[in-house]
Amino acid sequence: MNDRYVAHRGLFTKDQKIPENSLMAFENALKYGLAIELDVHLTKDEKLVVVHDHHLKRITGKDLIVEESALEDLKKLYLFSTQEKIPTLEEVLKLINGKVLLIIEIKNKGKVGKLEENLLKVLKNYSGNYFIESFNPLSLLYFKRHAKSIVRGQLCTKKIDDINSKALQFVLSHMLFNIFTKPHFIAYDIKYFNEKIYLKTKRKNRKLFLWTIQNLEELKFAEKQSDGLIFNYSEEILQYIQENRK
């Protein structure tokens, strides 16, 4: 097992025959001993599900929003026309069972409290190694206050979707909340990564992850710059990792 190489949304394929954030994708990552990044949402009936998008049109073809749907209804859907369904976080944790590191991204649409509370309850029963991360610094602040020992990561990019305020965009993209949330690591968008970000992160003695790596050139660059590499599957990348990781 090597925690440095992290399969983004599991080890899914570009054609989605192995769908992202599916039990099949997580099984595929386990087969290669890869750490796994995944996304969690809270359903209308306060169940934690593993899926990336709030709106499910791209993933299931159905015009539904996760937070406005009950788990029973979500379980009737199929991912990308396969037989795979949206898993609950409990189902994923049972499958992983501590075999690899999990990086759990909190998807809360800015509303902090219920998702974090439920996530903390579920994680208390899980003995495997995991980190949490979020674009929302208030989620990190929740964990800092209620579960300080859990490793927290601040996700960052130049422009965050669904935020129209230029002032808030500036504050978040420059990680100005870090003084309050004190994250253990920064997960930065490789498209906007530069030396200034590298020096700022290392000066604070924080670990650095880069996402989402799409090709071997980016992977080799990230190996020199970061502590963790969150990547999308390609045969070239997978072969390189198998041949070179220690």
- Helix, strand and coil in the chain, % to nearest 5: 35, 20, 40
From the list 150, 98, 84, the residue with the least C-alpha distance to 119 is 150
Choices 3.40.50.300, 3.20.20.190, 3.40.190.80, 3.20.20.140: CATH for 2-244? 3.20.20.190
Q: What is the pTM of this model?
A: 0.96
44 forms bridges with which residues in the sheet? none
| Residue 72 backbone phi and psi in degrees, to 5 | -55, -40
> Cα dist. 96→3, 30, 67, 92, 100 in Å?
14, 8, 25, 6, 7
Residue linked to tokens 């990086």: 103
pLDDT in tens, the chain (246 residues): 468 999 999 999 999 999 999 999 999 999 999 999 999 999 999 999 999 999 999 999 999 999 999 999 999 999 999 999 999 999 999 999 999 999 999 998 778 999 999 999 999 999 999 999 999 999 999 999 999 999 999 999 987 776 667 777 888 888 999 999 999 999 999 999 999 999 999 999 999 999 999 999 999 999 999 999 999 999 999 999 999 876
35, two tokens: 């750490």
How big is the chain, counted in residues? 246
